[in-house]
Amino acid sequence: PQTIYLKDYKPFGWIIDDVHLTFRLHPTATRVISRIRFRPDHDVHDRPFFLHGEDLKTISIRVDGHEPTIYEQSGGITVDVPDAPFNWEAEVEINPSANTALEGLYMSNGMYCTQCEAEGFRKITWYPDRPDVMAKFTVRIESDAEHTPVMLSNGNGLYYEQDSTKTPAPNVTIYQDPWPKPAYLFALVAGDLVAHEDSFTTVSGKEVHLAIWVRPGDEHKCAFGMEALKKSMKWDEDVYGREYDLDEFNIVAVDDFNMGAMENKGLNIFNSSCVLASPETSTDANFERIEAIIAHEYFHNWTGNRITCRDWFQLCLKEGLTVFRDQQFTDDMRSAPVARISNVLALRARQFPEDQGPLSHPVRPESFQEINNFYTATVYEKGSEVIGMLKTLVGDEAYAKALNLYFDRHDGDAATIEDWLKVFEDATGRDLSQFKRWYSQSGTPRVTVREEYAQDTLTLHISQRTAPTPGQETKEPQIIPIAVGLLNPNGDEVQETTVLELRDSEQSFSFPGHASRPVPSILRGFSAPVLLDQEIDADRRAFLLAHDTDPFNRWESGRMLARESLLSSVKEGSAPNAAYLDGLKLVLRDDTLDPAYRALMLGQPSQSELAGLLHDAGHVPAPEAIHAASEALRQAKADHLSDILPGLYADHQVEEPFSAEAGPAGQRALANAALDLLTRLDGGATAAMQYTRADNMTQQLAALGALLDADQGQEALTAFYDQWRDDRLVIDKWFSLQVLHAKPGDAADVARRLTNHMDFDWKNPNRFRALLGALQMHHAGFHHESGAAYELLADWLIRLDPVNPQTTARMSTAFQTWKRYDTKRQALIGAQLDRISKQPELSRDTTEMITRIRG
């Protein structure tokens, strides 16, 4: 496959004013007629007229009414056109029913829908399918009224007509989008849909019609999403001064979807799992995620749509910023410390392994073969962390000033990271050339802190080092904001949070005037996405767990104690750390602390995180030993907290009618965390009671999981299936849960058995991920010495690849950490990687991923 480089960027050379598209919908033979006015861009000298196209049956092509000379090329055509404005007209035929890759126009349960990011529009018609070509679209959709009573596209609905005198009755709808946009934001939906409607009046008094479109029967699952949308619209006005810019905003729920959701202009398309919610069928985690994703897609209207990316290398320009904005929104809607801890947990679980393994790449990559492979945790989550650091460094006011300048200066542009940083330089007068390394250098910096105390002065000697990553042997120092506070031995804060700017490989920072040695709290709020090495004993950690005034670092101290306890139990077989257990008890007893925060305190590092830490420390992780240590720590927590667990459980039962708000969700989180431990003491008695009484999915699922852990879950599992067999999203949970709660030696067998279940609709990405994604999340099960899970996953990746390369490639990342393990496991995984890579006609997506993973 061809590699594309950032350094080779060249503009298209032609400008489009208007695009007129007509769709004559048919499940197997949709006609797409495009009428486009092109004119030369005189700023560009070399202007070959190249249009992308894939799997198109061309019916006709006309340039100013004549058949032009066409040269077929890989991925498209070059056409002889006049060096002057001209009219393009093409008619193509496409087959939505055969489109199982879910890119371009495809069908999901009888409904037409599109997914054009990143390069799906080229499967719809001949077009310069690149984000820097922006145009105004008018779309006419024709279809039969019986199967597609609802037809939608981007922008504002202009016209609708149904001719019921004819059979079948044809439907015509016209949509016009007044805002120029790149083709990746194009969308079309048609089908038998019903709407949950509402409206929003913008700050300048414009009324916007809002609708969430779903399949009949799902109407009752829309209310939460609609409230989230209205909150997002208001928040973007209040916090970023961004107003919505169309008369309507539509969201459509689709069952077959490769990712979470898509921000198409005025017509967001959502994976149904990311928008549909009801208390009976969705957990609190689902509600929270839905709120964040609705916000994320809505915020893209300004950061992504009004200002888009010049090319796909700039993906973090829209994704990093939009993740940052959705995280700020969640901070404001819910508890900011709890949200920050959750974000850091996700970053460590998904981005750190990526950045420290064979798939490591810069936040702004410099080359790719398949752009779909770069919608990664690094681009999204590290991209957001980079913006958070920028805000920390320049301050809140300067951040707001820079963002206003960004919107003023670049509205309507296809911009770059250089444009983004220039706005901050111009707004603040700061030189950000060193900061830019965060976009170009891959890898997680390791920051080491050594303390010295003399003459009433505490000095922190801080150094940074980033290990080599693929294609980047040497690393330059980055600017790292390190938020620090100091506590005196009584636990009072004697130095409030201050931000140190680490610029060099090694630097020292002094805090004079402390007659007694203060205790530093370092990297408060996780002010930079780094690994922190600090020589601290368990007593100091316990002190910080009890006293740190920074909620993130207080939680982090508990986490570090748990981590160290687990690591020494794996390495030396030592018993769980008493300082950790005592400290944890004190925190859990403190009723002034938010229940959601206390629930997070009860968590412990995942087995896969421990494997990574052991590998970093020069050990070969043994999954079975890690599993045993994790289980032992859980049991030790249950035993040590046995006197308070029943109270914690009982005191956090929510009596009021269900609400997905942070308060009651936090109570349920704490009660369920207590239940998890209680089950280790009562053999599942409390869980059985909760299962019977549960009137919401959060409690039902937690109880079922606990029952499975106690080997008491088989009856409930069957009852659960019978209760929810008609709800796809709940049955996804049923698939996942059985694998996640299997014994390590059984996980692959359980998963294999479930692949034979009649509901294992493997072409549906949600179902595929529910089952095989759960298998890879079960660390000890996936890495069981038999190699059965490796083989099972490889079998299914091989089967899925010709059908859906995007999801196959994404799921292949399960193997990215393979070099951590012993030679036997490496050989087992290596054999599966070889088997996958030898498949004839392996997709470009999967070929690139397997090649990079193999290293």
Closest CA to 558 of 540, 573, 571: 540
Stretch that binds ligand HT7, among 113-121, 500-508, 541-549, 760-768 (CB under 6 A): 113-121
Residue 832: CB partners within 8 Å, gap ≥ 6?
A: 790, 791, 793, 794, 815
Token reading at 363: 């936040």
Binding mask 563-602 for ligand HT7 (x = CB under 6 A): ----------------------------------------
At its nearest, how many Å lie between Zn ion and the CB of residue 322?
A: 5
By the rule CB under 6 A, 115 interacts with ligand HT7: yes
d(CA 665, CA 224): 14
- Nearest to ligand HT7 of 218, 263 (CB atom): 263
- Could you tell which of Zn ion, ligand HT7, none binds residue 115, using a CB distance below 5 to 8 A set by kind? ligand HT7
Residue 220: CB partners within 8 Å, gap ≥ 6?
A: 278
- Nearest to ligand HT7 of 36, 118 (CB atom): 118
Figure out which of the listed residues 105, 133, 259, 771 binds ligand HT7, where binding follows CB under 6 A: 259
Q: Tokens 């894939």 sit at which residue?
A: 54
- Could you tell which of Zn ion, ligand HT7, none binds residue 588, using a CB distance below 5 to 8 A set by kind? none
Q: How remote is the C-alpha of 610 from its chain's centroid?
A: 22
- Nearest to ligand HT7 of 182, 477 (CB atom): 182
Figure out which of the listed residues 218, 263, 291, 709 binds ligand HT7, where binding follows CB under 6 A: 263
- What stretch of H or E contains 37? strand 30-40
**530 within 8 A of 444, measured Cβ to Cβ:** yes
Stretch that binds ligand HT7, among 30-38, 87-95, 296-304, 359-367 (CB under 6 A): 296-304
At its nearest, how many Å lie between ligand HT7 and the CB of residue 102?
A: 7
By the rule CB under 6 A, 258 interacts with ligand HT7: yes
- Could you tell which of Zn ion, ligand HT7, none binds residue 789, using a CB distance below 5 to 8 A set by kind? none
Task: Order the strands of the 76-79 sheet from edge to edge.
Answer: 50-52, 76-79, 70-73
Q: Phi and psi for 451 in degrees, rounded to 5?
A: -105, 150
Figure out which of the listed residues 319, 385, 548, 709 binds ligand HT7, where binding follows CB under 6 A: 319
Q: Which of 297, 319, 385, 556 is catalytic?
A: 297
Stretch that binds Zn ion, among 320-328, 478-486, 788-796, 838-846 (CB under 5 A): 320-328
Contacts 24+ apart (CB under 8 A), 385-388: 385/347, 385/528, 385/529, 386/316, 386/320, 386/438, 386/439, 386/529, 387/320, 387/321, 387/324, 388/324, 388/527
d(CA 208, CA 168): 33
d(CA 241, CA 407): 10
Q: Tell me, what DSSP letter sits at residue 68? A: P
Closest residue by beta carbon to ligand HT7: 259
By the rule CB under 6 A, 814 interacts with ligand HT7: no
Q: Catalytic annotation on 564?
A: no
Stretch that binds Zn ion, among 13-21, 89-97, 312-320, 569-577 (CB under 5 A): 312-320
CA distances from residue 75 to 2, 12, 71, 80, 495 in whole angstroms, order as listed: 11, 15, 11, 17, 60
Token reading at 386: 């980079």
Stretch that binds Zn ion, among 319-327, 359-367, 638-646, 661-669 (CB under 5 A): 319-327
CA distances from residue 150 to 141, 145, 387, 628 in whole angstroms, order as listed: 10, 8, 40, 55
- Which one-letter amino acid corresponds to residue 475? K
Cis upstream peptide for 168 (omega within 30°): yes
Figure out which of the listed residues 61, 111, 113, 118 binds ligand HT7, where binding follows CB under 6 A: 118
- Nearest to Zn ion of 375, 782 (CB atom): 375
By the rule CB under 6 A, 262 interacts with ligand HT7: yes
The number of residues that bind ligand HT7 (CB under 6 A) is 13
**481 within 8 A of 438, measured Cβ to Cβ:** no
- What stretch of H or E contains 367? strand 367-368
Q: Tell me, what DSSP letter sits at residue 416? A: -
By the rule CB under 6 A, 117 interacts with ligand HT7: yes
By the rule CB under 6 A, 296 interacts with ligand HT7: yes
- Nearest to ligand HT7 of 261, 570 (CB atom): 261
Name the site residues for Zn ion (rule: CB under 5 A): 319, 322
Q: Which residues bind ligand HT7 (CB under 6 A)?
A: 115, 117-118, 258-259, 261-263, 296-297, 300, 319, 375
Residues with active-site annotation: 297
